Chain A
Amino acid sequence: MSEPSLAIRKFTDLANPTRFLALSGSLLPWLAAATAVAFAVGLYLSFTTVGDYQQGETVRIMYIHVPAAWLAMMCYSVMAISALGTLVWRHPLADVSARTAAPIGASFTFIALVTGSLWGKPMWGTWWVWDARLTSVFVLFLMYLGLIALNRAMDDPTRAAKASAILILVGFVNIPIIKFSVEWWNTLHQPASVIRLDGPTIDPEFLRPLLVMAVAFTLLFFTLHILAMRNEILRRRIATLRRLAARNAGREPMEGRR
């Protein structure tokens, strides 16, 4: 039999929670520092670049609204990959990843909705419309909340993992709907202006802070996700230890009597 390739060996190494804790522990300070630096540069650029000739100062809302919306979708994609990991490969950390990503994704979706509303009022003249883009993102937010509720409603992590994984994969259909909603339907929301086949149509003056903020949000997501995964591993360890202690506590007096 041939030796597994280096990439596969690294991946299976990560399946060991103890090794994951050690690896992530050495990676985290760097990730946190990179996040802080990216946010410092991103926020500096966000407030020093010129305002838009039509939108004025409100264009600065874009620098948090758009990255938050991207991350809301990326987080769900991470959860969908984790769900595959649970159902197909039974990777021990896949469910830990899916479960801990949900509250982070819900937060980013919440930021996208709130900042979008605060941007819509001065620019569109309304806080909210039930158009395709806004509604589909709202549905994403509800799905995050539903997944959090479902996962926490079941005590047995293995059963909760399976049910959540199936629901995550069913809900993934919403992600392309969100992305293409502005093309498929007539919406008040503008169509894509950065991630397009023919390149960004947005001016570099606005694109620069936007991209730096997108990097900052992405780094923040991975920092928080790894931290939350470590917490979840510890939580499961504690549950196992408690069960073990309870079992031993019931056994000892019996052995004493013999």
Chain B
Amino acid sequence: MSHFAYVAASYAAAFGTIAGLILWVWLDGRARRRELDALEAAGIRRRSAGEPQ
């Protein structure tokens, strides 16, 4: 492998890992917000409901 290939592989690995991390956090947040919205739509809310989330 050329030196460039090692550099490219390193940046690709770092980019892939970070992209995966960002995607996971983002999808998790979206799923949780949907779940909370579904619960609120079903009339289940916190005692302090009405506060901004």
Contacts and interface: CB of A to CB of B under 8 A. Distances in A.
Given A103-B21, A119-B6, A224-B21, A68 B33 contact: no
Interface string B1-39: 101101101110110011011101110110011011001
A60 B7 contact: yes
A146 interface: no
Interface of A: 18, 21-22, 56-58, 60-61, 64-65, 68, 103-104, 107, 110-111, 114-115, 118-119, 121-122, 220, 224, 227-228, 230-231, 234-235, 237-238, 240-242, 244-245
A59 to B, nearest CB: 9
Contacts, number: 90
A111 B14 contact: yes
Contacts of B46: 237, 240-241
Contacts of A227: 25-26, 29
Contacts of A121: 1, 6
A118 B10 contact: yes
Contacts of A60: 7, 11
Contacts of B33: 234
Given A18-B48, A118-B10, A234 B4 contact: no
A57 B3 contact: yes
